[in-house]
Structure 1
């Protein structure tokens, strides 16, 4: 326990932090708004139209004049920083060395097959969380994520032996826990403890962001005094490996592997990865796993227009060779772009590098300048992440024909995976060529995207990732990308086909359907991602990296004036981690706390959502597979005593169920009777789910249904003149019935000659709307019709009392 003197000192430091925060980040009106979020427009499948956004090739004349900033690299970290600066009115140029924008978010098409290179799944899109709030702001709401499968991950153990085992990981959290307990009977206590540890460690994960926001000298002081450790358990979990934690929880080797299986996604073995990181990954998927509708390239496709709104550009085929410094070598003032053996210098007052920190400090800057950077000491503490092989398979059959699922598969040879993994990577190349890779990650991206079959009918895709050692390929690292010799091709293909053979053993149905094979080695990552050691995750995510001392150095500002960093090295290796790296970077440049502004917006969005039912908050793909939680049902034909005279032998049923207007918004401007098949599919699927519920309640109607008419919210727009599919006018919440609001909801408008009537003037009901008409007529005729009606009602009551017999009589 800290003594009183230390506590007093800690209190003073916290007070100083608060004062500094108010000085560093002035309180301003938020840059973000829910009003900027528009409903997703129809998917653009035309490749020429997409190329106009994603493949704008660099030329000097395309560079905008008067740039405020240049971003090196168009991965999500660079694009997010650029888009946020653009929202603040800055003119930003993003330069990408590849032939299309997106970094790990891009897709490529070969022989009619579309491959996603980096986005396998993301979490936190089933509700209004940070992921959804941030991506909505970066794309003006144009990016739609769809749930893949309740069982989103499958762990296959000993998959090449007779003692194989398979374990499912599913959402939501409660199902995740119960499934794990069913799969490991007798280990309930271990599972419960593991969940508690996840909750404890992730609840304070924000502190590694705090030490990046504070001035470096203050972060170092806070860390040295141990103040953060007095109030949070961050360091307690960050300093422990995931393996050490699970070894204390259970002796069951399979359960230990299940607890830590996500190491294959993080690219860090369990004895190296900080428990904080493992916990954060599990927590990220509690609400399910999602995939971008239309494929990963939808991410850059919808962020780029936001950048262009402020006069910016995203140009490809622009290989940045160096960062230009002023004469004193103390400030970054531009970049040099190389294309077609020509060099072009482009100037800007702010340079943001989304290349990884190693490349930025050792390749793009002179050695002496790179060593002055705040982040330089990290390069000797944390190594680059591990290299890997990537294989893309084109399958000449549909997902349905091959019975492919949307899950991600982590396949491990045995529980002693660390030993097998290290041994495999230490092998000389000749030995590795004859060895089985001990772990593979496998997925079918075509099965995750509900629009894939429309774009590529009769085709499916498979992605396989396996381990590799950079030394096996180093002899060819300086050779031209497409001109490496036969020995290189032999090594690449031998290892690649071993991974393919394992995939075919796991999924025999794909073996005879393989139509295209694309194998990428660690040198491919150097080429496409601008790496130096074949990695795909930037800095290695081990315990050293997530110590607070290291995190304080991995900040956007570099100590070199005008030069900032963005992306996964600033935060963590994931789509959300890299994007938040962009948020931190833009915050430093704009001198405002964008994370606080995003959190405020997220809370505002949550309030709006809380006024809706859970069913209405679902993305459409999830809603199509969900049961509506409430229905209103009636038989009007049974209420009217004259119905049978007019329609003998017939009866009618009315069903009303919940819906979300956003599910139908893409078709709101289309002709009422000429909406496309997708609209009809959504309308009918939801409608028939409601009909099925009615048939379960009243089985006798099932076989007598002769006619079905389904109306969506757009039908209400058409028939009732609405704009958001409602039938009740203004929402009847507390705010509406405050006296201050009711005083404004009156017939006269303040515009001479214009009056209002109906339910918005009163309440949403037959009588309410009719009385709205009475109030309207009263104002126009300048007489109190309500008093007149009350008088008439009393007279009618007197007549009734004279004609109806009394109870005694």
Structure 2
């Protein structure tokens, strides 16, 4: 058995961030990833002889402005200046397309309200009330620290965030009804809710207020060089500070002794010892498979089994022989066939795909035209996504790729999404030179997430805030990080979770420290970046290509 101070299971952004802060504070940390590329949902993949690069989950993020959480977390690891972000169009970071309205979402609360009032002048009073409540909650969440699960912690939240404490856990539909908003006005306000995948009736006022504030306070951003840049630099922090990242290393068991973690076992039987194990893997698999029901309290097993997973995504990736920057603004697109967003979710929960499916459409080459890996000159990439049903809607995961029913279903959904995308890019089909799709089963195969969910357990009102798991578990030395924890899903949620879990392990207020400007890692140790540095190669720590890339950088 090899000895480490800490082991992190999974190389998503939460796991890598946690490992980076642990190693920066002197703990020899090993990250174990079952895939061949580190990065989890933030990774990229390349196709057609590496001509086109596609993002799996890094589409647009908030809090990359100077005061943002993302900025602080990366600065604390000495990565400011090494990771650069390009802002999406601040006048229209998202475009919401409905049959009778196209609404341009700005990166500013005042302009956002003004545009809503302009679109719905007869609902001005209700809109001002609704947006005012959501804006106050966003500000309170920004200023608050996540409390412990104690009465004293809850009382601090009540005093510091009165709007959040009063209406935060009520459903968004309650707020809309109280403000007497029309169906279309409601649909516009929740137009980007696919980012967390919950219908308005299950969405808490707190969740949506925080979500809107995420973009309307500091803008929407995309990493220069593509999504793989962030995990690649986190890996560099880990490995230059005494840690290690291993890919193709699947954990099959978390080893315990008398209620205390002692290490992990890999597929093939290798055992690795450590007094601290952090799981950034899927929550249900962590508890029920890796730890095992026999090692948990019955109440814990019942609680974990009861958690509902968030809806998964179906994604279509297109390589195009045209430059979309000539046709599209630097904006994401959300296209809806009607204003009944609640009905869309009902269909999906019931295992039905509507004939006209709402889609999310984004182009990495439009957001980052200078990325040499994204596409050849004059070409573009396009990613088109929709929420998808779970479970029995899909064939059995065993051998699904050879299942004729799966092939037909996948082709049908692919064509539906491309058809919807032509409402934004009319001549799209004649410019497609590469086409590929991924389903929830694809996502489950690569990330081992339950039901292929990329958002972890659903961010519904009954599974949010203190109702989500914290970093500590009943197994001494076993910790949690990732989308299913109290920090929530998304890129910034994952990074915040990794930072928060590292702080809990170290019994140190790391989040507050880095917010105040502390730099925990040693920037002088980081690997110099050469002009031909490839973040994808750097995220394959076991490959000769990665080793050659690092040697060239030196």
| The one of 330, 338, 341 aligned to 1:406 | 330
| Per-residue deviation, 1:595 | 1.7
- Give the whole-Å Cα distance in 2 for the aligned partners of 1:268 and 1:418: 9
Aligned to 1:543: 461
| Per-residue deviation, 1:207 | 9.3
Aligned to 2:476: 561
Asked if the contact 1:417/1:438 (under 8 Å) is kept, the reply is no
SS of the residue aligned with 2:318?
Answer: strand
- Give the whole-Å Cα distance in 2 for the aligned partners of 1:364 and 1:597: 33
Name the structure, 1 or 2, with higher relative contact order (CA <8 Å, separation 6+): 2
Alpha-carbon RMSD: 2.6
| Per-residue deviation, 1:170 | 0.8
| Per-residue deviation, 1:377 | 5.3
- Give the whole-Å Cα distance in 1 for the aligned partners of 2:144 and 2:256: 31
Within 5 Å, which residues of 2 pair with 1:85-484? 85-111=22-48, 112-138=51-77, 140-141=79-80, 142-150=82-90, 151-158=92-99, 164-205=100-141, 209-211=145-147, 214=148, 216=149, 219=150, 228-229=157-158, 232-233=161-162, 234-286=164-216, 287-326=218-257, 328=258, 330-338=259-267, 342-371=268-297, 376=301, 378-400=303-325, 403-427=327-351, 432=353, 435-452=354-371, 456=375, 457-479=377-399, 483-484=401-402
CA separation of 1:572/1:579 partners in 2, compared to 1, >3 Å: closer, same or farther?
Answer: same
Give a deviation string over 1:495-517, Cα, whole Å, max 9, x none. Answer: 22111111123311322111111
SS of the residue aligned with 1:462?
Answer: strand
SS of the residue aligned with 1:256?
Answer: helix
Within 5 Å, which residues of 2 pair with 1:583-732? 583-601=499-517
Give a deviation string over 1:40-77, Cα, whole Å, max 9, x none. Answer: xxxxxxxxxxxxxxxxxxxx9xxxx6411111111110
Aligned to 1:792: none
Asked if the contact 2:310/2:455 (under 8 Å) is kept, the reply is yes
CA separation of 1:586/1:602 partners in 2, compared to 1, >3 Å: closer, same or farther?
Answer: closer
| Per-residue deviation, 1:124 | 2.2
CA separation of 1:371/1:509 partners in 2, compared to 1, >3 Å: closer, same or farther?
Answer: farther
- Give the whole-Å Cα distance in 2 for the aligned partners of 1:109 and 1:267: 27
Aligned to 2:525: none
- Give the whole-Å Cα distance in 2 for the aligned partners of 1:147 and 1:231: 31
SS of the residue aligned with 1:386?
Answer: coil
| Per-residue deviation, 1:602 | 7.7
- Give the whole-Å Cα distance in 2 for the aligned partners of 1:123 and 1:388: 21
| Per-residue deviation, 1:443 | 1.1
Q: How many residues align?
A: 515
Q: TM-score, normalised by structure 1?
A: 0.60
Give a deviation string over 1:178-203, Cα, whole Å, max 9, x none. Answer: 23332222333333223321232233
| Per-residue deviation, 1:220 | 5.5
* Structure 2: gaps of 5 or more residues: 520-527, 532-554
Aligned to 1:629: none
- Give the whole-Å Cα distance in 1 for the aligned partners of 2:167 and 2:305: 23
| The one of 449, 458, 465 aligned to 1:531 | 449
SS of the residue aligned with 2:281?
Answer: coil
- Give the whole-Å Cα distance in 1 for the aligned partners of 2:254 and 2:298: 15
| Per-residue deviation, 1:372 | 6.1
Of structures 1 and 2, the larger Rg is shown by: 1
Give a deviation string over 1:376-428, Cα, whole Å, max 9, x none. Answer: 55435531101221111111222345x23321111122122212431354256
SS of the residue aligned with 2:496?
Answer: helix
- Give the whole-Å Cα distance in 2 for the aligned partners of 1:304 and 1:240: 40
After superposing the two structures, state which structure 1 stretch, 525-534 or 76-85, moved more. 525-534
SS of the residue aligned with 2:76?
Answer: helix
Asked if the contact 1:157/1:412 (under 8 Å) is kept, the reply is yes
SS of the residue aligned with 1:104?
Answer: helix
Aligned to 1:49: none
CA separation of 1:601/1:389 partners in 2, compared to 1, >3 Å: closer, same or farther?
Answer: same
Q: TM-score, normalised by structure 2?
A: 0.87
Asked if the contact 1:100/1:106 (under 8 Å) is kept, the reply is yes
- Give the whole-Å Cα distance in 2 for the aligned partners of 1:256 and 1:262: 12
- Give the whole-Å Cα distance in 1 for the aligned partners of 2:22 and 2:297: 28
Asked if the contact 2:173/2:201 (under 8 Å) is kept, the reply is yes
After superposing the two structures, state which structure 1 stretch, 269-278 or 236-245, moved more. 236-245
Aligned to 2:541: none
Asked if the contact 1:372/1:559 (under 8 Å) is kept, the reply is no
Asked if the contact 2:10/2:31 (under 8 Å) is kept, the reply is yes
- Give the whole-Å Cα distance in 2 for the aligned partners of 1:537 and 1:427: 19
